[in-house]
A and B are shown apart, each in its own frame.
Chain A
Amino acid sequence: GQQVMQIPQYQHVQEGEDFTTYCNSSTTLSNIQWYKQRPGGHPVFLIQLVKSGEVKKQKRLTFQFGEAKKNSSLHITATQTTDVGTYFCAGHMDSNYQLIWGAGTKLIIKP
Chain B
Amino acid sequence: DAGVTQSPTHLIKTRGQHVTLRCSPISGHKSVSWYQQVLGQGPQFIFQYYEKEERGRGNFPDRFSARQFPNYSSELNVNALLLGDSALYLCASSLVPDRNQPQHFGDGTRLSIL
A contact set with B: CB distance below 8 Å = 1, 6, 30-31, 33, 35, 41-45, 48, 50, 88, 90, 92, 97-104
Contacts and interface: CB of A to CB of B under 8 A. Distances in A.
A45 B100 contact: no
Contacts of A45: 102-104
**Interface residues of chain B: helix, strand, loop or mixed (majority):** loop
Contacts of A97: 48, 55-56, 97, 99
B38 to A, nearest CB: 10
Contact of B103 (A6, A99, A100, A104): A99
B106 A90 contact: no
A101 B107 contact: no
Interface residues of B, number: 23
Interface of B: 33, 40-45, 48, 55-56, 58-59, 90, 97, 99-100, 102-108
A42 B90 contact: yes
28 contacts: A1-B59, A6-B42, A31-B99, A33-B102, A33-B103, A35-B103, A41-B107, A42-B90, A42-B108, A43-B43, A43-B90, A43-B103, A45-B103, A48-B102, A88-B42, A90-B43, A92-B99, A97-B48, A97-B55, A97-B56, A97-B97, A97-B99, A98-B48, A99-B99, A99-B103, A101-B45, A103-B42, A104-B41
Contacts of A31: 99-100
Given A97-B56, A98-B58, 4 more contacts: A30-B99, A44-B105, A92-B99, A101-B45
Contacts of A1: 59
Nearest to A43: B105
Nearest to B41: A103
B42 A90 contact: yes
Given A50-B100, A104-B41, A98 B56 contact: yes
